[in-house]
């Protein structure tokens, strides 16, 4: 499948006519990755859904389309609004990848992983479901 035929992420898990062709990643003057047009569009639609009162939002997107980049942008915006965020993933690799993306956008976070320092005061916590479950069983606090 060529790059122009590759499906692009759209709202609520479909691939529709509003799909954008993939753009090369670009970086701003501070060396931070900028969003591709379709990523910015998806974030706008997620924000519109949240503003409309939607509580369960699902974004489905193909491999390599930047789901973690999109999540990092949404999380960074939530932190600017003084919200707290819990990001869950089922694989250590995804947690480490998310930590890197959040660091790239300048968002302080605390990974809840064995071997990593505990930072419960950070507005964003990143964890696996297994780690949260194990820590909750061992104690009444998640440390």
**Cβ contact 35:43 at 8 Å:** yes
Size of the chain in residues: 143
Side-chain half-sphere exposure of 122, counting CA atoms within 13 A? 23
pLDDT score of 24:
41
How sure is the predictor about 29, in pLDDT bands with cuts at 50, 70 and 90?
A: low
Of residues 135, 83, 140, the one with CA closest to residue 111: 135
Of residues 72, 73, 91, 75, the one with CA closest to residue 83: 75
Distance CA 89, CA 67 (A): 12
pLDDT score of 140:
61
Q: What is the pLDDT of residues 84-140, one digit of tens each?
A: 999 999 999 999 999 999 998 999 999 998 888 889 999 999 999 888 888 887 766
């Amino acid at each position: 499948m060529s790059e122009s035929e590759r499906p692009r992420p759209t709202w609520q898990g479909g691939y529709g006519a509003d799909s954008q062709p993939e753009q090369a990643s670009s970086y701003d003057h501070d060396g931070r990755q900028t969003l591709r047009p379709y990523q910015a569009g998806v974030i706008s639609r997620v924000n519109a859904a949240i503003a409309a009162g939607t509580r369960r939002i699902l974004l489905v997107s193909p491999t390599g389309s930047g789901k973690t980049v999109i999540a990092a942008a949404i999380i960074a915006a939530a932190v600017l609004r003084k919200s707290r965020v819990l990001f869950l993933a089922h694989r250590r690799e995804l947690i480490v990848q998310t930590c890197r993306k959040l660091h790239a956008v300048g968002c302080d976070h605390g990974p809840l992983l064995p071997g990593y320092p505990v930072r419960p005061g950070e507005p964003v916590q990143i964890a696996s479901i297994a780690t949260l479950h194990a820590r909750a069983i061992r104690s009444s606090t998640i440390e």
